[in-house]
């Protein structure tokens, strides 16, 4: 049987970032993905926003890894010339009650170490962003956008330059714990491969609970329930009236239908939130009325004809409908008693922003 130090299942941003970090230290790092290439699922179906780390409860993994990850990601983008822009974002209020919520958010951000938010009053906003309807806003200068595909390509180049290996079209089937570590069975384009691994890192995103269930000795009661929460996007044809990202006050399961720009300046709106049972990326034209209603609150002069259904992504959420905040769940032996196994569950937003910090955190678990 072939042997590897580390087998990483899932080549989204998180698996790629972990493989790039661990291939600096370990000789034998293998990253596999069942799809034709890397990053074909959630990692290429998101808002491409580098989040500041404003909203999450202090000391949660989401707060800590987002704030750290943002710093690491900006540094990485600069070093590797990855298209990105620190465009900034306006979190907008439309009445006194929402302004109170902005004040609560400001305090939460400070507790998370995000102390660069700037209060904007209505007359400042009218001057700087005439198309915006808002009574006040918080400006987050450290929020930005990134070209995620270039980022993932760069991580892959790092892995390969450091002697790691990525193999696509290779499905993790099952694994059995033995005295030497964990023996994994993979299916690579119809060929069955057995691998003896010292460590397996499960970064399978929407499929992470299925992967965990296929590992003998992994206690079933430690595998959380994953909910699929789809978010749709509509693109806006033509010139953007906004230079910054525009976010309404967050809603229960997401950040609200916001306006974001990609690195080429193209404006899009979304995502909304819709819990679904099966993976399905359809964007129905019927959603347009709901989008217009939400967007009109902060962009009253929106031209309805310019709003076109675009794409959808699915969040792998630990939080079911109407449930409270759930953190990233990153488990090692201490939680599940399986030596050599690390599971990552519920890596929804801000997973992209946090990816390099998640990689650092996982390396720490391997050392502990
Ligand atoms: C609508 C939406 C908007 C978002 N916006 C943002 C944002 O603006 N900023 C931000 O920071 N985060 C955002 N996120 C979150 C971010 O996209 C995710 O946290 C991140 O992409 C997760 O990456 P991942 O590598 O964990 O998962 P994925 O990208 O899903 O990768 C998992 C990989 O595992 C592979 N896999 C699964 N099972 C197997 C198997 N058995 N064998 C082999 N391979 C397998 C899959 O093929 C897949 O490629 C958003 C998410 C959504 C859905």
210 located within any domain = yes
* Pocket flag, ligand 1, residue 211 (CB < 6 Å): yes
pLDDT tens per residue across span 67-99? 999 999 999 999 999 999 999 999 999 999 999
- Cα(26) to centroid of ligand 1, in Å? 24
166 located within any domain = yes
Residues 274 and 260 in one domain: yes
Of 271, 275, 156, residue with least CA distance to 225: 275
- Cα(349) to centroid of ligand 1, in Å? 9
- Cα(12) to centroid of ligand 1, in Å? 5
339 located within any domain = yes
Residues 283 and 208 in one domain: no
- Cα(357) to centroid of ligand 1, in Å? 15
Residues 136 and 154 in one domain: no
Residues 173 and 212 in one domain: yes
Domain end residue (candidates: 298, 317, 336): 317
Pairing of strands 165-167, 29-32: parallel
Residues 167 and 271 in one domain: no
29 located within any domain = yes
Task: Tell me what pLDDT residue 230 has.
Answer: 97
CATH of the domain at 231: 3.30.9.10
234 located within any domain = yes
Residue to substitute in 69, 85, 204 for testing ligand 1 pocket (most ligand atoms within 8 angstroms of CB): 204
Residues 19 and 127 in one domain: no
Task: Tell me what pLDDT residue 252 has.
Answer: 67
Domain that holds residue 234: 89-141+227-317
* Pocket flag, ligand 1, residue 203 (CB < 6 Å): yes
* Pocket flag, ligand 1, residue 34 (CB < 6 Å): yes
Residue with tokens 């906004």: 242
CATH of the domain at 214: 3.50.50.60
111 located within any domain = yes
* Pocket flag, ligand 1, residue 270 (CB < 6 Å): no
59 located within any domain = no
Residues 108 and 249 in one domain: yes
Residues 29 and 167 in one domain: yes
Ligand 1 atom with the smallest distance to the CA of 229 is: 53
SS3 assignment for the chain: CEEEEEEEECCCHHHHHHHHHHCCCCCCEEEECCCCCCCCCHHHCCCCEECCCCCCCCCCHHHHHHHHHHHHHHHHHHHHCCCEECCCEEEEECCHHHHHHHHHHHHHHHHCCCCCCEEEEHHHHHHHCCCCCCCEEEEECCCEEECHHHHHHHHHHHHHHCCCEEECCEEEEEEEEECCEEEEEEEECCEEEEEEEEEEEECCHHHHHHHHHCECCCCHHHCCCCEEEEEEEEEECCCCCCCCEEECCCECCECCCEEEECCCCCEEEECCCEEECCCCCCCCHHHHHHHHHHHHCCCCCCCHHHEEEEEEEEEEECCCCCCCCCCCEEECHHHHCCCCEEEEECCCCCHHHHHHHHHHHHHHHHHC
Residues 214 and 233 in one domain: no
Residues 216 and 169 in one domain: yes
- Cα(141) to centroid of ligand 1, in Å? 26
Domain end residue (candidates: 299, 317, 335): 317
Task: Tell me what pLDDT residue 253 has.
Answer: 64
- Cα(43) to centroid of ligand 1, in Å? 4
Number of domains in the chain: 2
Task: Tell me what pLDDT residue 185 has.
Answer: 98
Cα dist. 225→93, 203, 276, 330 in Å? 34, 16, 14, 14
Residues (pLDDT < 50) of the chain are none
* Pocket flag, ligand 1, residue 186 (CB < 6 Å): no
pLDDT tens per residue across span 260-287? 999 999 999 999 999 999 999 999 999 9
Ligand 1 atom with the smallest distance to the CA of 33 is: 44
Residues 213 and 161 in one domain: yes
**In the Cβ-directed half-sphere of 269, how many Cα atoms lie within 13 Å?**
27
Residues 360 and 258 in one domain: no
56 located within any domain = no
């Amino acid at each position: 049987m072939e042997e590897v130090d580390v087998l990483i299942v899932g080549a989204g941003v998180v698996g790629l970032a972990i493989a790039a970090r661990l291939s600096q230290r370990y000789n034998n790092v293998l990253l596999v993905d069942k799809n034709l290439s890397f990053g074909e699922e959630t990692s290429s179906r998101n808002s491409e926003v580098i989040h500041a780390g404003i909203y999450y409860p202090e000391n949660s993994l989401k707060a800590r890894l987002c704030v750290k990850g943002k710093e690491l990601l900006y540094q990485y983008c600069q070093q590797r010339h990855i298209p990105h822009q620190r465009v900034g974002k306006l979190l907008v209020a439309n009445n006194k009650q929402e302004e109170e919520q902005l004040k609560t958010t400001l305090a939460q951000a400070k507790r998370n170490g995000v102390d660069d938010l700037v209060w904007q009053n209505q007359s400042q906003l009218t001057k700087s962003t005439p198309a915006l309807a808002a009574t006040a806003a918080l400006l987050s200068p450290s929020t930005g956008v990134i070209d995620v595909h270039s980022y993932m390509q760069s991580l892959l180049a790092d892995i390969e330059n450091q002697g790691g290996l990525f193999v696509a079209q290779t499905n993790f089937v099952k694994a059995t714990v033995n005295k030497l570590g964990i023996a994994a069975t993979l299916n690579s384009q119809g060929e069955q491969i057995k691998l003896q691994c010292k460590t397996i890192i499960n970064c399978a995103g929407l499929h992470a609970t299925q992967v965990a269930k296929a590992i003998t000795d992994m206690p079933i009661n430690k595998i959380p329930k994953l909910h699929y929460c789809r978010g749709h996007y509509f693109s806006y044809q033509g010139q953007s009236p906004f230079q910054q990202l525009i976010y309404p006050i967050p809603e229960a399961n997401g950040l609200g239908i916001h306006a974001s720009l990609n690195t080429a300046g193209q404006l899009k709106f979304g995502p909304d939130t819709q819990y679904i049972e099966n993976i399905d990326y359809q964007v129905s034209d019927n959603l347009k009325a709901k989008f217009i209603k939400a967007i009109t609150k902060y962009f009253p002069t929106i031209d309805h004809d310019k709003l076109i259904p675009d794409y959808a992504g699915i969040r792998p959420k630990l939080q079911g409908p109407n449930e409270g905040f759930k953190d990233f769940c990153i488990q090692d032996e201490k939680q599940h008693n399986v030596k050599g196994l690390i599971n990552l569950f519920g890596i929804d937003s801000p997973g992209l922003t946090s990816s390099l910090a998640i990689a650092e955190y996982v390396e720490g678990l391997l050392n502990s």
